[in-house]
Amino acid sequence: MIEVKLFIKSTSGLYVSNKVYKFIKSYETGNEDGNIDNEALKKLQKLAERNFERDGVNIRHEGHGVFRISLPRNGRIIGFHDEYDFIAINCFKKPRQKLNKGQQKIIKDVKRIRKNKLWKRSIK
């Protein structure tokens, strides 16, 4: 069972697994002012305001209700919609044009998790 926690509350909520949380945090960089910047978080906030609507560029359908969100520097988040929220289960870096077998397996696993309802929202 994969547990997901609320990460962004907007028009649509973004719930993420621990793995996706760490992946998003890996985008954090410091700037000259000593502030922390996160280009992935900025993009996800904009997508949340638009209800994670599929547009074929930022969000692509992978079949069986599973979607791939493109992040800067070839990052990908794999998840699905649950009513008004987006549930982000897994992620990977995609440096090449085509998906490799490991990336295809991740997408297949997320499809199985969605179909069999092998996830739950955290109470905390």
Per-residue pLDDT band for 124 (boundaries 50, 70, 90) equals low
Q: What is the CATH number of the domain that holds 27?
A: 3.30.2310.20
The answer to whether 78 and 62 are in contact (CB under 8 A) is: yes
Mean pLDDT, residues 33-37 taken together: 81
Predicted TM-score (pTM) of this structure: 0.93
Structural domain harbouring 90: 2-121
Pairwise CA distance, residues 83 & 40, whole Å = 23
Measured CA distances, 76 to 35, 51, 70, 122 (Å): 25, 18, 5, 23
Phi, psi at residue 87, to the nearest 5°? -105, 110
> Based on the structure, what is the number of domains in the chain?
1
